[in-house]
Structure formats: C-alpha cells, structure tokens
Amino acid sequence: MRPLVAPTAVSGAPPMQRLAFFEREGPFGYALVLPAILYLTAFIAYPFAMSIWLSMTDASAGASKWNYIGLDNYSKVESWELIANDFVIFDGDKAEAQRIADQHKDEGKVVTAPDGDRFKASLQIGSHTIPVVETNGEDDATYLATTILNDLDWQVHGGKVVAHAADSPISFGTFEKRGDANDARKKSVLVDSTTHLKANGTGVQQDPNFLLAVKNTLKYTFGTELVKLFFGIPCALLLYKKFRGRQLLRGLLVIPWVIPIAISGQAWLWILDSTYSVINWLLVHAGIISPANIFNFRGDANLAMFSLVVVNVWRGFPFTTIVILAGLTSIPDEIIERARLDGANALQRFWYVMAPMVRPILMVSLLFSVVFSFTDFNTIWIITRGGPYDQTQVLSTYAYQVGVNAGYLGKGAAISLFLFPIMVVTVFGMLQWLRRENM
Amino acid sequence: MISGWRSIRVDVAAWAGLTPFLVFALFPFYWGLVTSFKADANLYDLSRNPLWIAKKDSSGQPYHKDIIVPASYREGKIEWKIKIGDRVTRSDADPNPPAIALIDGQEIVGPVAGRLAKINVPEGSTAHPNEVVGDIHVDNPTLSHYEFLSFTPFYRWMKVSLLTGLAVVLITLLVAVPGAYSLARLRYRGNRSIGIAIFLTYLIPPTILFIPFSQLVGGLHIDNTIWSLILSYPTFTIPFCTWLLMGFFRGVPKEIEERALLDGATRLQMLRKVVIPVVLPGILTAAIFAFTLSFQEYIYALTFISSTANRTLPVGISVEMVRGDVYFWGPLMASSILGSLPVVIVYGLSLNYFISGMTTGATK
C-alpha cells in the first residue's frame, strides 16, 4: 500500500504523547459518535420527555394554554357504580331447581316490606321466600327485584338456579366513594351474586375503548407470532436446500415485507371488499357459501380482527423465514452430515440437531416480530381504521384517534405511552433469555 | 444419470413445497395488477371470473354502455363531441362527467369509464327523447387507470417520497457511518453504554413519539413541509443503520488500520481511504435500508403533512384516492403498482445486500 503521508516515525513505538488531540483514540471516538448522540437526544429523548409531560397536561389542539393535571389522563375516577350479573336464587334439590326456573314467571311475585328505615324486597316462588335486595326507597327495591324476576335469563346448573343478566348488568346505584359502593355491596345485595364495581371517569383507564385497544393489541401481537413461525419454519427449511431457482423464490417470498404496507394494503382492501371480494367470489363459485351469506370482512368485528391477523402474518412471515434461514445456513455442514451418518432421519436431524442450534435466532426473529406487531399502526389504520365501531382499535391507532383526530394531545400521549412499559418488559425479558441461552 | 434425476426431484419438491406460500405472498400483487388493467364495467361484473380480464360480459357482448337521450330533450340530430380513443372519465362515480354527444345543441353527458374503443351510432341520425341512440364500447384491458394518475398529484407524491428518501439516506450515512465505526472499533469510556443506548431507542418507536413530535415540528414551523419528514425519519434509520454498520466494521481486519496509522495517515484519512472502501457493501446495505424504511414510513407523514400536494406516496394513495366511502379501485390499484416500483427496483438490484441486511440487523 502506498503511504498516504511520508512516514515520520520509522523505528520504535509511535510517540503517543505527541499525538494531536483528535489523533487520540478517545477524543476521536467521541467526535465521531457525537452527531448520532446529539441527533437522537434532540429527536428521540427530547420528544419522549415531552410526551411524558404532555400526558400530564390537558393539552388539546388549538388550546393556547396547557394546564398540569397530574395523572388524570391516565386514570381519573369520578364515580363508582355497583353492578351485578348473576344472582344465585336457589341452591338445593335438582328437580325443585328445575321447577323454580320453569315456573318463576307465572308463580313468582315480589314482596317488599320495610326493614328498619330501609326496605327489603324478596321473591316468593311457591313455598320459597328469597330476600334479594335492600334499599332506602321502597320503589327501588321493588323495581330491582322485579327486574331480576322478570327480565333476567333464569338458568339451571345442577341444583342451582341462576338469574343471569346477559347484555347489561343490573346497576345498584352510583357512588362518589369506593367505600360507599363497597358498603352498598354488603348491605343492598342480599342474594348470592357476582357483583363488581365499575369506575366511571375521564381517565383512559376508565375508557372502555382503551381497554378494548389493550386487548386488541395483545391479540394482534400474540395471535400472529406462532402463525408466523408456523409459516416461516417450513419455508426456511425448503429454501435451505440447494435447488434451481432458489434465489428467485427467496426473492419473491420477501416482497410482502419490502413493499410499504400502506401501498400493498390497498390490494388487501380490495380483496376484503364487502361486495366484490375475490374470496367471496371463489367461495360462492365453489358452492361453499351462498351469495346471500357472503363475508363482510371489514364490517364484522371478529372477521375484521381475523383479517388484520392474516394481513400481519402475510407481511411478517417472510421476515421470519429469512432470519431462520440465516440461522440454518450458519450451522456447519459437518454436524448435519455426522448426524446423517449416525442414522438420524430428516425429522430427527431437524428436531435434535438443527432446532436447538436455531433456537437463539428463532428468539431474535420473535423479538423483532413482537416489537414490530406491537407498535404497528399502518396495517390496522389501512385495513380497518380501527373499525367497525372501534372494535379493532389497537393502542397506536386509538392514540392517533384521540390525540390527532379528536385533538386531545394529552390523552393521546398517555395512550401511546402505555406501549412503553409493555415493550420494555417484553424486550428485556427476551434479551435476558437470549443472554442465558448464549452462555 | 441417477444423480441428475435426484436433483430434479429435489427441485420439484422444493418448488411444490414453496408454491402455497408463494401464492399467499404474491396473490395481493397479482390481484392489484389484474385490477389495474380492467375497465370499470368488468371490474364490477360479478358474473365474470375476477381473476382474469374478461373480453366480453355475461351476455357475450363487449363491455359497453347505452347512450340514452334524456326525457327532457328535444328531438334532434346527433353530432359527436368525443372521438374514439379519447379518455372519457375515470369511473362511473365521476362527479363531473364530460359531454359525450350533442343533440340539437344539447349535451349528453357521460359517464363512461375508460378509453373509448367504439361508438355504435349512425352519425347524423335523429334522436328521440327517452330513446337509446346507440352504445359506447370501452377498452378492456385498458391503460386508462394509469393515464388517470397524471390527473392526480401521484407523481408529485412520488417526488416527495423519493426526495425524502434520498435526503434521509444522506443524513443517515453522515451520522451512522462515523458513529458505527467509533462504537465498533475505538476504545473509550462509555463506548459500550452508548451502543446500548442507541439500540434501546428501538423501544421508543414512532407510534409513541408522533404526538410530541407533531408539536415539535409545529414549533419549528416546518409542519406540512418535506423538512418535517427529513428531520424525523433519521430517528429510526440512524439507530438501525448504526447497528447494521457496527457489524461490518467489526469484520475489518485490525492490521490494515494499524498499517495505515504506522504509515503516517491521520485517523480521519485512515477511516476515509482504508476502512470505508472495505465496508462499502455494508454502507450500501445501510443506504438501501434507510431508503426502504423511509419510503415505508406512514404515521409521521400522516400526522405532520396535511396538504394534498406535500404528502408522501403511501399516505397520498391511501388518503387521497378515496372519496368518503368511495374507493376508485382501478386508479387505486394502478397507483399501488406504480408506487411499489421504486422499492421493487431497489430491492431487485440489491437482493443479496438486502437479505444480508435483514439478517445482520436482526442478529448482530
């Protein structure tokens, strides 16, 4: 190699003490990495801190002043409601239980009587008198007992008769303090029942859509990962062998991962169209479904979630394939050859030789895939926009809905910040596992 | 001979095994491609096989539309306003359809979707109110959905996306190459912690940052401009590319660096003239990824940019090609196919770099 500058120190060790400042390893190193640190501090650390601050204000789009409101965006309970679903009316003889359940509407009646300064309502069915509620007002007691008697679905489980509120639970009143609600639980509901306290309020934790978004995020993430492996492992094994056209097929398989989902998602929208869906066309023409019963993929909550999972698997399994393939290719040929000579068949070679060696990289692909699904916004936004009726909202799309569309910046920031702790736990958990595995 | 048969058997088995997965992976693209060439009349015809382009409708006629004289019109001579080959309108849902014929000075307006192939009316004949005077045939397959794109900001969005991508690649390389070299090769206090800190920025993805970031770009008065994207995209490309490049720098033999230093090169010269040429494949991989990641980005572009003209391609297509509940499937698929081309080209040219990047990014 031609010397770039005429050599100065021809013999002996380089004179360290005479090196210019930036010729020393430390200062040079810091200088080179400084732009990255500054950039990421200014545009990740600072907005992240701002996000935490925003989530503690009532900031909204267009408001000139933001007020500090503490943790109210996260959780603010304004009242507690005592509600109950199932009431055990009778527990005893099987035949008697069946008779009570069959006859309760014709035979049963509500009797309300004063009990001290309160009123106690009981159900009288045949020879049974079952006290059910006790309230301050006579009408309240009668009303609640009548509802239990007439409006609920009375079911028999063994010797038990259970009055079940299917759609909307029965409310025993709203209270300002949790203690009051708990007192009422002890005093008002006399019959054995499943009661719980529902918090009403303005914090995101009191928002039923938020809870749904958390559930959907978990469903969307963990519902897809195993399927991705289920698709990725056979693909990787098939691509591992040398065959003609291997490069081409590998290249084609990765295309879903390369094209922006906002663009390829348009084709999925068209595949999932309510009238012209090609899936429906194929099913109708194969005689599997009738034209009257075609699937409305994006109009039904369960089908919409299922569609999202399919699209996520479609987009993610090529990545899983490629990462596993890299793991397989890194296994030395001799090891597999030796196993073959030792008489291991293909399945045994896979299970006892290749699988254990690929496991760490499998976990890495899983880690990336989990993080990717967990923070995904694009797929959901493109395919369902959180619909129908917010039923497929995940944390990221709900944060967008609340923070940008509705303009409640503070609350939106609070929603998206919920992603952070779950991410930290997942990632550190998996990294810990990997570290143990590598030792 | 036997080994030849054996290798063919291996080929066939691999292709057969992979076919279902390939069909699943590629079907949406095939479906988009076929759709983008279909005239609307064919597109919305459930009686024909949707997987292919039908030449004729279910009655055996080419796809056509009757021209009906409105009831309020006077009787009169038909004159033509449009010529065969004219692009008429993009879809049956066009709110302002163009005039297609003239009867005694009164215009009959479309809509006929697609490019005209044939007009079946004796010229100069007399038209009566409420009567069918003839029909119009449209091309099928047709390029009209692709032609329509020049009437939308499609190419403008493409420009925004490409420019952003290139600027982001530049910024990313300027920051990530020296950063990665420093973290991978130089020893100083905090070196390891800085590397880990950069990796941990993965934990704060755009879906957490988009709300405060929108306030930040608003404060800098760059919201609604391409600068908001050029500034924000490196937040995810720099960490990714730094980690990617650290792997490549570690692979450079230490001796060539020492040799250059002994030869009297400054550290910067050594980096520029000795080390960087060696890791050029790595830098290319990083550039490809920075470009692809920024081309794919969605939530920042959706949040920061609100004017139609400055949108990126993915946002433009998904937001502006839909009016309310009406999806213009033909133009939508045409724009999706054309819009995928930049990444497909980059990907096709650099398949091996790309796939090695996917795995080093995940494993290093």
pLDDT digits (tens, 9 = 90+) for B281-329: 899 999 999 999 999 999 999 999 999 999 999 999 998 888 777 788 9
How confident is the model over B64-95, as pLDDT tens digits? 888 888 888 888 888 777 777 777 776 666 67
Residue A252 has what pLDDT?
93
Same domain, A268 and A337: yes
Q: What's the CA gap between A352 and A346, in Å, rounded?
A: 10
Instruction: Please count the structural domains in chain A.
Output: 2
A267: tokens are: 């084709």
B168 touches chain A (CB under 8 A): no
Helix, strand and coil in chain A, % to nearest 5: 60, 15, 25
Half-sphere exposure of A387 (CA within 13 A, CB side): 9
Q: Is the pLDDT of residue A3 over 50?
A: no
Q: What's the CA gap between A36 and A28, in Å, rounded?
A: 14
Residue A18 has what pLDDT?
61
The b/e string for A409-426 (b: 16+ C-beta within 10 A; e otherwise) is bbbbbbbbbbbbeebeeb
How confident is the model over B320-337, as pLDDT tens digits? 888 777 788 988 999 999
ipTM, two decimals, is 0.88
Amino acid residing at A408: Y
A196 SS3 class:
strand
As a whole number, mean pLDDT of residues A372-379 equals 92
How confident is the model over B189-238, as pLDDT tens digits? 999 899 989 988 888 999 999 999 999 999 999 999 999 999 999 999 99
Of A154, A178, A200, the residue at which a domain comes to its end is: A200
- Strands B132-138 and B114-120, bridge-based pairing: antiparallel
As a whole number, mean pLDDT of residues B255-266 equals 89
Residue A197 has what pLDDT?
86
Closest to A325 measured CA to CA, from B295, B195, B28, B21: B21
Residue with tokens 């001799």: A334
Of B31, B178, B314, the CB nearest to A32: B178
Domain that includes residue A264, residue range: 206-438
CB A70 within 8 A of CB A193: no
**Under the phi-then-psi rule, with left for phi > 0, alpha for psi from -120 to 50, and beta for the rest, what region is B72?**
alpha
A259 touches chain B (CB under 8 A): yes
Q: Is the peptide bond before B141 cis (omega within 30 degrees of 0)?
A: yes
Same domain, A411 and A336: yes
For chains A and B, CB pairs below 8 A equal: 314
β-sheet bridge partners, residue A154: A163
Mutation for testing the B interface, residue in A34, A247, A270, A297 having most B CBs under 10 Å: A270
Q: What's the CA gap between A316 and A320, in Å, rounded?
A: 7
Let me know if residue A120 belongs to a domain: yes
The CATH number assigned to the domain with range B152-363 reads: 1.10.3720.10
B59 touches chain A (CB under 8 A): no
Q: What is the CATH number of the domain that holds A413?
A: 1.10.3720.10
Residues of chain B contacting A382 with CB distance shorter than 8 Å: 318
Residues of chain B contacting A364 with CB distance shorter than 8 Å: 362-363
Let me know if residue A368 belongs to a domain: yes
Q: Is the pLDDT of residue B169 over 80?
A: yes
Same domain, A297 and A430: yes
Same domain, A194 and A214: no
Let me know if residue A392 belongs to a domain: yes
**Under the phi-then-psi rule, with left for phi > 0, alpha for psi from -120 to 50, and beta for the rest, what region is A8?**
alpha
Same domain, A241 and A272: yes
Of A44, A250, A263, the CB nearest to B209: A44
A249: tokens are: 């097929």
Same domain, A244 and A337: yes
Residues of chain B contacting A44 with CB distance shorter than 8 Å: 201, 204, 209, 235
As a whole number, mean pLDDT of residues A99-127 equals 84
Of A179, A200, A221, the residue at which a domain comes to its end is: A200
B57: exposed, middle or buried (Cβ count in 10 Å: 0-12, 13-18, 19+): middle
CB A317 within 8 A of CB B18: no
Q: How far is CA B199 from CA A93, A371, A421, B241, B364, in A?
A: 66, 13, 16, 10, 11
Of A200, A227, A249, the residue at which a domain comes to its end is: A200
How confident is the model over B110-141, as pLDDT tens digits? 777 777 888 887 767 788 888 888 888 888 88
Same domain, A166 and A149: yes
Residues of chain B contacting A421 with CB distance shorter than 8 Å: none
CB B245 within 8 A of CB B282: yes
DSSP state letters, A242-295: --TTHHHHHHHHTHHHHS-HHHHHHHHHHHT-TTT-HHHHHHHHTTSS-GGG--
Residue A211 has what pLDDT?
92
Residue A147 has what pLDDT?
86
The b/e string for A302-322 (b: 16+ C-beta within 10 A; e otherwise) is ebbbebbbbbbbbbbbbbbbb
CB A48 within 8 A of CB A57: no
Closest-CA distance, B129 to chain A, in angstroms, reads: 34
Q: What's the CA gap between A171 and A189, in Å, rounded?
A: 11
Residue A5 has what pLDDT?
46
Give CA angle at A190 (A189, A195), nearest 5°: 40
Maximum Cα–Cα distance for chain A, whole Å?
113
Same domain, A259 and A277: yes
Closest to B182 measured CA to CA, from A31, A2, A334: A31
As a whole number, mean pLDDT of residues A371-376 equals 90
Residue B56 has what pLDDT?
84
Which B positions 233-292 lie with beta carbon below 8 A of chain A? Answer: 234-235, 238-239, 242, 259-269, 273-274, 292
Q: Is the pLDDT of residue B360 over 70?
A: no
Residue B276 has what pLDDT?
92
Same domain, A255 and A404: yes
B16 touches chain A (CB under 8 A): no
How confident is the model over A10-22, as pLDDT tens digits? 444 455 556 788 8
Q: Is the pLDDT of residue B37 over 80?
A: yes
Q: Which of A112-126, A276-290, A300-314 has the lowest mean pLDDT?
A: A112-126
Question: Are the beta carbons of A238 and B17 separated by less than 8 Å?
Answer: yes
Q: What's the CA gap between B326 and B313, in Å, rounded?
A: 19
Please state the domain extents for chain B: 2-36, 64-141, 152-363
Q: What's the CA gap between A151 and B122, in Å, rounded?
A: 73
Q: Say which CATH architecture domain B64-141 belongs to.
A: Beta Barrel (2.40)
- Mean pLDDT taken over chain B: 87
Let me know if residue A48 belongs to a domain: no
Same domain, A188 and A337: no
Q: Is the pLDDT of residue A242 over 70?
A: yes
Give CA angle at A216 (A73, B240), nearest 5°: 85
How confident is the model over A71-95, as pLDDT tens digits? 989 988 888 888 888 888 888 888 8
B31 SS3 class:
helix
Question: Are the beta carbons of B11 and A243 separated by less than 8 Å?
Answer: yes
Same domain, A196 and A215: no
Question: Are the beta carbons of A36 and B327 separated by less than 8 Å?
Answer: no
Q: What's the CA gap between B189 and A26, in Å, rounded?
A: 8
Q: Identify the helix (H) or strand (E) that includes residue A156.
A: strand A153-157
Q: What's the CA gap between B95 and B116, in Å, rounded?
A: 19
B51 SS3 class:
coil
As a whole number, mean pLDDT of residues A339-354 equals 84
Determine what percent of chain A is predicted with pLDDT higher than 90. Answer: 36
A406 touches chain B (CB under 8 A): no
Residue A48 has what pLDDT?
95
